Structures are given as structure tokens and as C-alpha cells.
Amino acid sequence: MSLIKDISAQAAKAAKVLALLDTQTKNTILKDMANALRASKDTIKSENETDLANARDNNLPAAMVDRLTLTDERIEDMAQGIEVIAQLDDPVGQLRPMGERPNGIQINKMRVPLGVICMIYEARPNVTADAGALCFKSGNAVILRGGKEALGSSMAIASVLHSVLEQHNLPKALISVIPDPDRGLLMELMQQRDTIDLIIPRGGEGLINFVTENSTIPVIQHFKGVCHLYVDKDADLDIALNLLLNGKTQRTGVCNALEGLVVHQDIADAFLPMAAKALAEKNVRINADSKTAQYFDGANVIGEEEFGEEYLDLEIAVRIVPDFNAAVDHIDRFGSFHTEVICTQNEQTASLFQRSVDALW
């Protein structure tokens, strides 16, 4: 049996064990995983340093290096994320009433695990912990295939999670990492439809297209993250500025970072000078149409078809719109259906935005 077939078969077998665990047991294990990550942070960072050195030697883009980097703070974020997952309601076994038949039979629909989920991702070692914990809580085994850039980091994180599984007499195959980044193995992995139930790619548009085109297993896809902040005419401008700076400058390489700023014309004169000053202090490059560019020193004037770029850098596209409908139209045309944000104090406008804008995350 090949490496991929063996890993997939072991994961499918392990999933049967996980499906029988009660909520309290799963939550206890998740909390132990979080604490184990904290206790192993030095080992994880050591492996991550090796990955980072290789990344620098290979001149990887700054956005990818940022996603690859693990610090004490980011490891703590991973641990806290697992603890949050432990606090979530357990979806396994939840019932949804479907009604009563004329003969008196009550029909319910029960939520059950899918079985085995395969996560394919690039230089994002945190996905190893995030996906492992989410799949564990939802009763699914997971097979993780990260990019070669993050292999050492991912294996170190997985080793920590494995130690906790073994302490609780559970199979390590519940959270499996493909130890070889060979693309031939990836192709084989995407053909294991007898043992893998779902594939979720996380990464750039190229990766997601590759998985979608080559997998014989159902794929959940989102392609890229062109995310917008719409500052409405009824916005609190200080809140809007904080949202802008957090969404654009905190981490530029993540897929939910802001790539577009859309501003209602009624507050443009008040808000855009504030935004221009704050973004300049953060060295953010501004792309804007000719009408909007006048608010920014050194803005790059772009044409209509140049909106909708995923920069993954200290760069953003800005546009003034005449009204709410124009803002929604801009987002529909240039967004990627990932994450969209409105800043407004008008509850009716906020509700309308939520209903009007197509965003999945």
C-alpha cells in the first residue's frame, strides 16, 4: 500500500473512533492540546526558524514569509483559538425536527460527521492547529497537506497534538500530516475518494484552481480574498479609521485583510483626510480613481478595470461612491465573496448591507 493510501485508510479508521466520543471528552482533549502548544512553543519556534531561513534563502514574497512566521504571540493565538473551539456547541448529534407523518412517526434530521477531511494549504503552519482542532470538535479526522515551506513547523505542531491524542488513548491518525511535499503525492491524495470525504484548499488562487481542477473529491473553494470596508454616511469616523488600520495594516498577508476602501461621498471630505494621514504613517500605497486620488499625496491613479486586486501588502484601492447602492455594486463587481465590512451607526443600513452583500466568511 502506498504512503497516501495508508494515511487515508488510517484516517478513515480513526474517524470511526472519534465519532463516538462525547462532547466533554472532546473538549477536555482540546484544552489539553492548547496547553501542550504553549508548553512546546520553543520547539515549535525552533522548527519554524529553519523554515524561515529556507524561505529567505529562496526569496519568498514578504506576504508568504509573514504567513509562515510563528512568534510567541501567534502560538498563543493558536492555543486560544483551540480553547474557543472547545467552548463552541458540539454540532455532532444535533437534531432538526422535520415534522410528523400522518401515521404519527416523528422525523428528525441528525447532524453527523463527514468522516475524513483533507486540508491542503501553503505556508500557513497555524492551519495545522486550527484545522486539526476544528475537525476534531466536529467529529472528523483530518489529513493535512501543507506547503514545503512550512513542513517543519507543521510537523512540529502536529507532533504536539499527537502527544495529547496518545495520552487519551486515541489514534494519531485523527490528525495526519503528509510528511513529503512531493506534488505527485498531492495528486494521489486528491484521488482518494473512497476514504476522503471532502477537500478544503487554503491558499492563493493558483493552489485553489489546481485542487479544483484535479480533485475527484468534492472541494470547498473561495479563491482569493479581495475584502472591502464600506464607510457609510452615518459612520462613526473614529471607529471607521480603527477598522481601516486594523484590517489593512495589522497583517497584510492574510486572506481577510482589507484590499479596498469604499467611502460615501457625504463623509469623504471629513474621513479621507483622516485616512490619508493614518495610512501614510503606516506607509500604505494608495490606488484610487482620479476623483478620489486628490485626497492622498502620491496616490497612484488607476482605471476602472484595475480595481479588485488582491495586494497582500501595504497597498489598498480607494473609491468614493455616491450612495449605498453604488457601494454594494462596487463590492459585487470587484469583491471575491470572502469578507466585507460596513461601518455605520444606522441599524437599518447595516441590516440591508448584510442582506445585499454576498460574502461567505
Domain 3-214 and domain 227-356 have a common topology: no
Residue 351 has pLDDT above 60, yes or no: yes
Q: Order of strands across the sheet with 141-145?
A: 175-177, 141-145, 116-121, 198-202
Tell me the CB-side half-sphere exposure of residue 182, using CA atoms within 13 A.
8
Instruction: Return mean pLDDT, the chain.
Output: 93
C-beta of residue 173 within 8 angstroms of C-beta of residue 7: yes
Contact 314, 284 (CB under 8 A): yes
Instruction: Report the run of H or E that residue 229 belongs to, with start and end.
Output: strand 227-231
Query: pLDDT tens digits, residue range 175-206?
Result: 999 998 888 899 999 999 999 999 999 877 78
Residue extents of the structural domains in the chain = 3-214, 227-356
The DSSP result for 286-303, as a single string, is EEE-HHHHTTSTT-EE--
Percent of the chain with pLDDT strictly greater than 70: 99
Assigned fold of 227-356: Aldehyde Dehydrogenase; Chain A, domain 2 (3.40.309)
When mean pLDDT is compared across 15-29, 211-225, 238-252, 309-323, the lowest value belongs to 211-225
The share of the chain scoring above pLDDT 90, in percent, equals 78
The predicted structure's pLDDT at residue 361: 55
Predicted confidence (pLDDT) per residue in 96-147, tens digit: 888 888 988 989 998 999 999 999 988 889 999 999 999 999 999 999 998 8
**Superfamily holding 3-214:** Aldehyde Dehydrogenase; Chain A, domain 1 (3.40.605.10)
With contact defined as beta carbons under 8 Å apart, do 330 and 357 qualify? no
- Exposure string of 179-199, with b = 16+ CB inside 10 Å and e = fewer, is eeeeeebbebbbebeebbbbb
Rounded distance between C-alpha atoms, residue 73 and residue 39, angstroms = 13
- Of 254 and 187, more confident: 187
Q: Is 28 exposed, middle or buried (0-12, 13-18, 19+ CB in 10 A)?
A: middle
**Residue 315 neighbours by CB under 8 Å, 6+ apart:** 284, 285, 286, 287
Report d(CA 235, CA 346) in Å as an integer: 8
